């Protein structure tokens, strides 16, 4: 049944992709096809397809980076396929998996971008290629600990963290620790909101951080379900906080939901993604009085990863692209265009960039609890939302 | 080959395409989701998912919540639409002209935009609250993130089409019938209950089916303006399917929703068949 289902998903996405491709007017044949007409001079041009998803800002980022890369490497063409967030990331993963199971290589996907959850899932299904500095020299720029976390199967090319965003006009005593935050919430009823954790990472991080605050430090890298019995204390705390939340227990949908509340002044403090806050501040969507801070222990922050499907036939070209993405030059674009933290160590970046991220890009922690977040969401829904 | 067999074959071949489409996109998915919903964790088949549906506190409150909203919305929509349609049928003048011109507008506004509009209008710091605040009212009831908001959104989405449906049925009531009833001295109420209502009852049933099914399966408005818990079944299904990734339970919820809808559909079809048999006998 499951196979049938994923086969169905595969067929659907294939049809979709085919229609997309024919729309672009490029040949559907994989392999070393010359991408567009008139490129016969560079006869050996390699085209690989790169699937990424995310919000609009991710699309904008790649539309900047890819031309930069192609200019330097005229023999490589990147076929970018943007899958708007929410709708397509799961089918893309299913497609890679289905292609492998039916012996069809990598399903015409040579590079894939997603979060930690998918990296771990693919690790179990043995989908990702092992990456090393032999092929990608710039991998040396990346913090080795982050790479160990994903067993060198994925490249953390940018990251952002959940931070506390607050209205600096009304919040004078800025919380420094998680306990300070609880304290603030209790003394300012209905002025704090976090989004429904199943609809966005900011709320999810608040919930996870609150639960794991009662657990030993290294529990945040534990994917074993046996740890779930230790969650009780955290959940009862969240349950108790419910009556101090915005609207006595309203958790808006999506990361943007709480940001909207902060904009309209209905709340004074929210957990939010740093890149969303910085970007919306830049565009004037959030009031200028909005400030961000990280607390200790830090909220979840995390890299977004690039993975190479093991069965891809165009790995050499992909490696070159990855090497470029990890260069300080490309990383500068990440910082400028989407206010993300660079994926490489800050010491590789200019002093200016290093200064601008002081405070915000430190102190966050990378949670890697695998599929356990599904159970957290489930339990949150029945215990905290429905109390 | 006799003529009647030929005609029979022709008839079947004309029905066949729509029958095949029905089988492909309705019957097969229903059967496959029924099968999926009967699977338990160990790969065997039993009713555990349905048991969970009715014993889990959260799921049960979701079901009750959905039924409450659906029933309240259906009744309100039918009441408002019917009175609007009757008013437009038997009155003339400035007001009727304007209602006739404007009542279809909601159909042309995409549901996401309409929903955000409702949030802007009725939210905690929305226009309505601000206007009332200046008029001296300090407390504003919670409409958004509450059941009331979903019901209001359902009214917005369903009234235009229902009114149109009922309006066309009412225009089918001949003036002659009403006038002759008046001539023999029937009062307004009597005409309404003895003539107009029975003559439009079938369309009313059709409208009820449409509204009921539309509301019970709604997603956009309940997702954006509903409370976190309880949720409507559509929102809950999405969460179970794509967040908890429990396909079997999602299938069970979907099949249960289908059963609810087919319950209403049954009455609709029964009344249709009755009508047919009366006509043919």
Residues 6 or more apart from A111 whose CB is under 8 A from it?
A48, A49, A50, A51, A306, A307, A308, A309, A312, A318, A321, A322
DSSP string, A112-158: EEE-HHHHHHHHHTT-BPPP-TTT-GGGGGS-HHHHHHTTTSEEEEE
User: In this predicted structure, what is the pLDDT of residue A40?
Assistant: 44
ipTM exceeds 0.90: no
Per-residue pLDDT reduced to its tens digit, A183-203? 999 999 999 999 999 888 889
Residue A89 has pLDDT above 60, yes or no: no
- Encode A18-75 in three state secondary structure: HHHHHHHCCCCCCCCCCCCCCCCCCCCCEEEEEEEEECHHHHHHHHHHHHHHHHHCCC
Which of B63, B141, B228, B247 is the best residue to mutate to test the A interface, defined by the most A CB atoms within 10 Å of its own CB? B228
Nearest partner of A19 among A7, A9, A31, A11, judged by Cα: A11
Q: In percent, how much of chain A has pLDDT > 90? A: 24
Q: In percent, how much of chain B has pLDDT > 90? A: 40
Neighbours of B230 (CB within 10 A): 24
Identify any residues that bridge with A52 across adjacent strands, giving them in sequence order: A82
Residue B29 to residues A16, B210, B217, B264, Cα–Cα distance (Å): 21, 21, 16, 20
Nearest partner of A5 among B252, B248, B238, judged by Cα: B248
Per-residue pLDDT reduced to its tens digit, B116-172? 899 888 887 788 888 888 888 777 788 888 899 999 999 999 999 999 999 999 998
Q: How many CB pairs under 8 A join A and B?
A: 48
Per-residue pLDDT reduced to its tens digit, B23-55? 999 899 999 999 989 988 787 888 888 998 898
In a domain, A207, yes or no: yes
Q: Exposed/middle/buried for A299, CB within 10 Å: 0-12, 13-18, 19+?
A: buried
A314 shares a domain with A169: no
A126 shares a domain with A145: yes
Q: Categorize the per-residue pLDDT at A210 as very low, low, confident or very high, splitting at 50, 70 and 90.
A: very high
In a domain, A211, yes or no: yes
Mean pLDDT of B11-32: 91
Own/partner pairs for A100-105, CB < 8 Å, 24+ apart?
A: A100/A125, A100/A127, A100/A309, A100/A310, A100/A311, A101/A3, A101/A6, A102/A7, A102/A10, A105/A30, A105/A311, A105/A312, A105/A313
Q: Name the packing angle between helices A232-241 and A178-187 (round to 10°).
A: 30
In a domain, A23, yes or no: no
Does A323 contact chain B (CB < 8 Å)?
no
Tokens for A50, please give them: 């790169």
Q: Exposed/middle/buried for B275, CB within 10 Å: 0-12, 13-18, 19+?
A: exposed
Question: If you measure CA to CA, which chain B residue comes closest to A256?
Answer: B224
Q: A235 lies in which domain range?
A: 160-301+365-384
Per-residue pLDDT reduced to its tens digit, A332-364? 888 888 888 888 887 888 887 777 676 666 677
Per-residue pLDDT reduced to its tens digit, B236-262? 998 888 878 788 899 999 999 999 999
User: In this predicted structure, what is the pLDDT of residue A17?
Assistant: 52
A330 shares a domain with A277: no
DSSP string, A217-252: GGGGG---GGGGGGGHHHHHHHHHHGGGSGGGT---
A230 shares a domain with A165: yes
Which of A91, A382, A387 is the best residue to mutate to test the B interface, defined by the most B CB atoms within 10 Å of its own CB? A382
Q: Give the H/E segment covering residue A209.
A: helix A201-212
Number of independent structural domains in chain A: 2
The number of helix segments (H) and strand segments (E) in chain A equals: 14, 8
Does A251 contact chain B (CB < 8 Å)?
yes
User: In this predicted structure, what is the pLDDT of residue A85?
Assistant: 61
Q: What is the CATH number of the domain that holds A73?
A: 3.40.190.10
Chain centroid to Cα A345, Å, comes to 18
A123 shares a domain with A134: yes
- Contact (CB<8Å) B58/A381: yes
A343 shares a domain with A314: yes
Among B145, B224, B239, select the one facing A198 at the smallest CB separation: B239
A308 shares a domain with A271: no
- The domains found in chain B, sorted by start residue, are 56-280 (1.10.3720.10)
Residue B18 has pLDDT above 60, yes or no: yes
């Amino acid at each position: 049944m499951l196979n049938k289902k994923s086969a169905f998903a595969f067929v659907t996405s294939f049809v979709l992709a085919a229609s997309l491709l024919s729309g672009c007017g490029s040949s559907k044949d994989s392999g070393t096809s010359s991408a567009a007409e008139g490129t016969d001079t560079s006869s050996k041009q390699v085209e690989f397809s790169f699937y990424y998803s995310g919000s609009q800002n991710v699309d904008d980022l790649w539309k900047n980076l890819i031309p930069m890369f192609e200019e330097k490497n005229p023999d490589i063409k990147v076929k970018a396929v943007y899958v708007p967030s929410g709708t397509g990331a799961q089918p893309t993963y299913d497609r890679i998996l289905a292609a492998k199971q039916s012996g069809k290589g990598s399903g015409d996907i040579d590079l894939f971008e997603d979060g930690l959850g998918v990296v771990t899932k693919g690790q179990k299904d043995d989908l990702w290629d092992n990456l090393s500095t032999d092929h990608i020299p710039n991998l040396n720029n990346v913090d080795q600990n982050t790479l160990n976390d994903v067993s060198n199967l994925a490249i953390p090319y940018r990251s952002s963290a959940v931070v506390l965003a607050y209205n600096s006009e009304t919040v004078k005593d800025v919380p420094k620790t998680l306990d300070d935050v609880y304290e603030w919430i209790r003394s300012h009823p209905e002025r704090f909101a976090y989004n429904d954790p199943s609809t966005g990472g900011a709320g999810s991080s608040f919930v996870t951080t609150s639960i794991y605050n009662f657990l030993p430090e290294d529990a945040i890298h534990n994917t074993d379900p046996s740890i779930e019995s230790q969650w009780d204390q955290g959940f009862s705390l969240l349950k108790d906080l419910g009556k101090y939340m915005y609207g006595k227990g309203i958790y808006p949908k999506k990361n943007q939901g709480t940001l909207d509340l902060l904009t309209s002044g209905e709340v004074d403090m929210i957990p939010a993604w740093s890149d969303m806050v910085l970007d919306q501040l830049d565009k004037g969507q959030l009031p200028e009085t909005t400030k961000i801070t990280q607390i200790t222990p830090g909220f979840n922050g995390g890299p977004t990863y690039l993975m190479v499907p093991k069965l891809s036939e165009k790995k050499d070209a992909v490696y070159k692209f990855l090497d470029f993405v990890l260069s300080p030059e490309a990383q500068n674009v990440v910082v400028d265009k989407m206010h993300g933290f660079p994926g490489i160590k800050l010491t590789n970046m200019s002093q200016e960039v290093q200064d601008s991220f002081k405070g915000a890009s430190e102190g966050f922690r990378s949670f890697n609890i695998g599929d356990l977040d599904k159970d957290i969401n489930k339990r949150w829904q029945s215990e905290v939302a429905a109390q | 080959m006799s003529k009647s067999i030929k005609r029979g074959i022709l008839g079947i071949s004309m029905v066949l395409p729509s029958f095949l489409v029905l089988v492909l996109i309705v019957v097969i998915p229903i059967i496959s989701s029924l099968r999926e919903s009967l699977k338990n964790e160990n790969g065997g088949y039993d009713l555990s998912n349905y048991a969970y549906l009715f014993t889990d506190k959260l799921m049960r409150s979701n079901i009750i919540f959905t039924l409450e909203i659906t029933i309240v919305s259906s009744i309100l929509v039918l009441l408002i639409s019917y009175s609007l349609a009757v008013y437009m049928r038997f009155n003339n003048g400035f007001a009727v002209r304007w209602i006739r011109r404007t009542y279809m507008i909601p159909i042309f506004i995409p549901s996401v935009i309409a929903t955000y509009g409702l949030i802007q209008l009725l939210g905690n710091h929305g226009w309505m609250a601000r206007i009332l605040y200046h008029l001296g009212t300090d407390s504003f009831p919670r409409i958004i993130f509450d059941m009331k908001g979903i019901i209001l959104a359902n009214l917005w989405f369903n009234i235009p089409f229902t009114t149109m449906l009922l309006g066309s049925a009412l225009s089918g009531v001949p003036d002659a019938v009403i006038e002759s009833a008046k001539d023999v001295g029937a009062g307004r109420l009597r005409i309404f209950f003895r003539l107009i209502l029975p003559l439009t009852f079938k369309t009313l049933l059709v409208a009820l089916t449409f509204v009921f099914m539309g509301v019970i399966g709604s997603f956009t408005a309940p997702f954006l303006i509903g409370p976190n818990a309880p949720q409507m079944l559509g929102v809950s299904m999405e969460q179970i399917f794509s967040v908890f990734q429990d396909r079997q339970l999602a299938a069970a919820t979907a099949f249960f929703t289908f059963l609810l809808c087919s319950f209403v559909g049954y009455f609709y079809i029964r009344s249709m068949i009755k009508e047919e048999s009366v006509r043919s006998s």
